[in-house]
Chains A and B, each alone.
Chain A
Amino acid sequence: MSTLWRVAEVVSGVPESESSRTIGLRVDGLNGNLPGQHIDIRLTAEDGYTAVRSYSVATAGMDETIEITVDELANGEVSPYLVRDLMVGDQLEIRGPVGGWFVWRPTDTNPVQLIAGGSGIVPLMSMIRAHEASDNPSPFRLLYSLKSPEAGFYRQELLTLGQESAKLTVDYVYTRKVPQGWPGPPKRLTEEALLEAMLPAEADPDIFICGQTIFVETISGWLVQAGYPAASIKTERFGGTGGLR
């Protein structure tokens, strides 16, 4: 049985926030990814011990290069290496991109509501980029919950898109520290604030939620209670060291 693992070359590494890095990977023969898919990365120690982790793809091209954004976890087994030590020119073993369910396709016609908690923004950014690059006219709305402005991923790109794109609206919730001039103190997302930042249920949006387990479960619960059909909600949880980052 042949393997699906293949070698990726690190072609770029750029700090994305205080604790994260966006890493470009080039794979011979790769044909991009569907927006929302992830890859598995396998690291093998000299003694043969292996660790496999999943990382969502942030980009949405159709060529041999993809980008992931890795957030460093304290006591993490894999992420500190990827964020701090990995160098351009290094090689990694990857499997994928995989996953045909938590994906958005440019042929989808419904409006789309994206909800990100922290690094949960990554697969949703892939969808936003694919949507912007397509002539799909459906409105996208992103709700991004983050600790502080400095913790934000793709900050400048999202600010620019939020101001200039005619088909993307971006709302932020800052949980610890707000940017200068922000109206009000930091606060966690509440049911009320969530529903204010949502496309209305009557618009029949496809909903994608990505974040920590507790974030995903609380929000999907609130949405179902508010009348959004469970079947319209797709979720991607991460939690524990084995989860999606």
Chain B
Amino acid sequence: MTGRSGSPSQGPEDPRVEDQDIAGFAGNPIPHLDGNAVAGPLWEVFRIDIIAAIGRCKNCGAVRAFGEALVYADAPGIVVRCSSCEGVLLRLVETPTSFWLDVSGLSYLRIDREGQDLA
């Protein structure tokens, strides 16, 4: 999320492996979170909840809920990628004085006007 963070990679040398809840490993060297994980910062920017909104990926045309997107938060900013093609949908960097927001990877967002009482 917006905190300073460094997510160690998973691997056979990783002592935390035995703490996993599950047998077997999927190949996923760069951990990501779900769209939901950026609800806070995006609420700060948009002042409405866009996590349940439907967005269209400009790269591949997939139309999916923002909550389904892949979120990479272990960086100075947040990168949100399409879960179909992994194209970049949105980038957000917070500085002490500004938000830098790039939404050029989204051709649109369709936001439900109901259900905004509880963002």
Interface residues of chain A, those whose CB is within 8 Å of chain B, are 3-4, 31-34, 37-40, 50-54, 77-78, 95-102, 117-118, 145-147, 175, 188-190, 211-215, 217-219, 221, 234-244
Contact = CB atoms under 8 A, between A and B. Distances in A.
Given A213-B33, A218-B22, 17 more contacts: A95-B40, A98-B39, A98-B40, A98-B51, A100-B49, A100-B51, A101-B65, A117-B22, A211-B21, A215-B20, A239-B33, A240-B6, A242-B1, A242-B2, A242-B33, A243-B37, A244-B37
B105 interface: no
A148 to B, nearest CB: 12
Contacts, number: 159
Contacts of B10: 214
Contact of A240 (B7, B36, B52, B119): B7
Interface bracket on B: 35 or more
Contacts of B68: 101
A4 B22 contact: no
Nearest to A32: B118
B3 interface: yes
Nearest to B42: A98
A238 B49 contact: no
A240 B67 contact: no
A239 B7 contact: yes
B3 A102 contact: no
B21 to A, nearest CB: 4
B3 A52 contact: yes
A147 B18 CA distance: 11
B31 A99 contact: no
